[in-house]
Amino acid sequence: MNASRFSVTPDDDPNELLTAEDRAWISDVYADDVLDPGRVTPAQLAAMNARDRERYRMQRTRYLRMVPLLETSVVRDVMGKLRLIANSAIRSDLHQQDIPILNGEPGVGKTMMLKTHAAEEMMRLALHRSIELEDGTARALTTFRPVIYAHLKSTMTRYDVIRLLCDELGWPSDRNPQRAFERAVARCGVQLVIIDEIQHVNFDGKTGRHVHNIIRWMSNFGLRVVLGGTDADGVLSGVGAPAVEVAARNSRGRWIRVDVPKMEIGGRRELTAWVDLIFSFESRLRLTQAPLEEGWLADNFAEYMWARTQGYLNSLVLLINLAAATAIETGAETIDRKILDSVELEDEVERQRPQRMAKFEADNPAPRRAEGDDDGPDLQDRQAS
């Protein structure tokens, strides 16, 4: 895109400056194209032919699964810190950039926060470019790709990391990938690099020293870098050869640790936040036999769901998604205690399940069966609060 021949007006949509790929990324993050399939009655569902019933199943499953980042106290805190750092930065290779690293256990929602931050920054930096174009100060670019999001999937060397960043831009990485990346940054207007799962780099050896130095070089080059991982202590410990310790010390001088905890329910405010989170998912369930009153899932099963998931966001999402899928598959078309009990979660949260559930049962005894009632208590009425 040649800045000298491209002009904008204040009425133009800045997002049109982004590539179709980046606009699609933003749309996916915010679930813009995910439509509410609506609610149908049991009779309407029964009247559907097999094809329409399967279409409705696909639509309501997608509507439940494709949820944008939901606001919690943890999300507000973490995203607030990322936005503050972004808004205080300027594009200049004369000023080094501080590097936030999101640190937390697997399953607390770091990746969704990083993806949402990437989408926010794409839009913010597109607005900045539109202002620069309007003011006549924009640099000429081949294409405009202000943000790179890279997810490390396995052990990687420094060159693997740089090649991955080039691949994300669609830019060829030749025999000197660092030189290729420099050209890509200049020609694509890159300002922010987000690297998720940074713990896949072996920071104990030579590779770790090189990656520390590459990230510092990006910062010195005027790029903002945001990292995400599960072991910030290990990444920054610098255990090993003296050169590794020096590289880690340099990183500790620039990296800003942003801890992402799991959700707790020890206090009234924390419990309310947990209930509100579950209600956000409840409001997207499209089950024909579910109770009509609001809170039928969130109010009745909040503490049960915390006992099952220990407050890990990914585990909560899995529990609700699989429970909904079971309700649809079995024809129950609602979620009760029996269905929730049947769902198996990740191994880490299942390991202490018997002990946790025994404590939950002791703290939340089932209602006594009425005299003469042969059917026993309704499991759905065993409230978790």
Compute how many other C-beta atoms are within 10 angstroms of the C-beta atom of residue 311: 21
pLDDT at 378 over 50: no
Contact 195, 227 (CB under 8 A): yes
Phi, psi angle pair for 226, to nearest 5°? -125, 135
Kindly report, residue by residue over 82-123, the tens digit of the pLDDT: 999 999 987 766 566 788 999 999 999 999 999 999 999 999
Strand ranges of the sheet holding 99-103, from the earlier edge strand across to the other edge: 147-151, 192-196, 224-229, 99-103, 255-259
- What's the DSSP call for residue 80? H
Check residue 381 and give its pLDDT.
Answer: 41
DSSP category for residue 331? S
- Over residues 43-61, the pLDDT tens digits come to 999 999 999 999 999 999 9
Q: Residue 370: count other Cβ atoms within 10 Å of its Cβ.
A: 8
- Tell me what pLDDT residue 95 has: 61
Contacts of 20 (CB under 8 A, 6+ apart): none
Residue with more model confidence, 240 or 78: 78
How sure is the predictor about 244, in pLDDT bands with cuts at 50, 70 and 90? low
Q: What is the mean pLDDT of residues 132-148?
A: 95
Q: How far, in Å, CA of 308 to CA of 205, rounded? A: 39
**Beta-bridge partner residues of 148:** 193
pLDDT on residue 355: 93
* 215: confidence class by pLDDT, cuts 50, 70, 90: confident
* Residue 211: band (very low, low, confident or very high) from pLDDT cuts 50, 70, 90: confident
189: left (phi over 0), alpha (psi -120 to 50) or beta: left
The amino acid present at 48, given as its one-letter code, is M
Kindly indicate the confidence band of residue 160, based on its pLDDT and cuts at 50, 70 and 90: confident
Query: What pLDDT shows up at residue 173?
Result: 86
Residue 39: Cβ within 10 Å count: 13
The predicted structure's pLDDT at residue 2: 37
Stretch (H or E) spanning 252:
helix 242-252
* 282 burial type by CB count under 10 A (0-12 exposed, 13-18 middle, 19+ buried): buried
The answer to whether 118 touches 124, Cβ cutoff 8 Å, is no
Rounded mean pLDDT, 334-355: 95
What is the share, in percent, of the chain residues with pLDDT greater than 70? 83
Mean pLDDT for the stretch of residues 208-232: 82
191-196: average pLDDT: 94
Per the listing, tokens 């309501």 go with 60
- 96: which 2 tokens? 């080094």
Q: What is the CA radius of gyration of the chain?
A: 25
Place of tokens 């691949």: 167
DSSP state of 336: -
* Range scoring the smallest mean pLDDT among 85-89, 211-215, 253-257: 253-257
Mean pLDDT to the nearest integer, 9-20: 86
**Model confidence pLDDT, tens digit, residues 278-320:** 999 999 999 999 999 999 999 999 999 999 999 999 999 999 9
Length of the chain: 385
Residue-averaged pLDDT of the chain: 86
Q: Provide the pLDDT for residue 106.
A: 92
Where do the DSSP E strands lie in the chain? 99-103, 147-151, 192-196, 224-229, 255-259
Residue 155 near residue 201 (C-beta atoms within 8 A): yes
Tens of pLDDT, residues 70-80? 999 999 999 99
